[in-house]
Amino acid sequence: MKKLLILSLVLLMVVVFATAALAKAEKQILEPYVSSNAPYYEEASGKAIVNTSKGDVVLEITVSVKGLEPGTEYEVKGCISKAEAGWTSIGVFTTNANGNGNFHINFRVDEDLPPTGYIYINLPGIGDSTVLMAEGY
């Protein structure tokens, strides 16, 4: 019985470490950004987690924000550099009554992957409308 317990613990550790080795997560802190066409939310904050892994899901993006305008649609954009020309829309989310919102998307094998060096949170349909932005990695 003791050998079975030890073997089970060893197998669990192997699975945990193997899973961690197969996935690489990058966390970006989203900070308020002064933009010419968008409101400035000084108390806004958030994070974006970009996870690359092996298997069917090759890219996973999760965004969580706080302190934005309640009941408002925002767009998640990614780019390799800070140049506006390189922005690619990843998806949209709507904030709740407290101005908080979450977004999650998986990209699978053979799907076009968005650039993810920087993550921006924008108001859709407005030119220079970034309200939260990551420093990038």
Distances (CA, A) of 68 to 36, 50, 105, 111, 116: 17, 21, 21, 31, 22
* Residue 68 contacts residue 129 (beta carbons within 8 Å): no
Residues linked to residue 18 through DSSP beta bridges, in sequence order: none
Q: Give pLDDT, residue 67.
A: 97
pLDDT over threshold 70, residue 7: no
What is the pLDDT averaged over residues 46-54?
A: 90
Smallest CA-to-CA distance from 74 within 55, 61, 93, 91 is with 93
pLDDT tens sequence across 58-84? 999 999 999 999 999 999 999 887 766
Kindly tell me if the per-residue pLDDT of 20 is higher than 50. no
Q: What confidence score (pLDDT) does residue 100 get?
A: 98
Q: Cα separation of 38 and 26, whole Å?
A: 27
Domains of the chain: 23-134 (2.60.40.200)
3: confidence class by pLDDT, cuts 50, 70, 90? low
pLDDT band at 1 (very low <50, low <70, confident <90, very high): low
Q: What percentage of the chain has pLDDT greater than the value 90?
A: 50
pLDDT of residue 85: 64
Angle at 132 between CA 127 and CA 133, to 5 degrees: 95
119 and 78 Cβ atoms separated by less than 8 Å: yes
The string of pLDDT tens digits covering residues 99-123 is 999 999 999 988 888 888 889 999 9
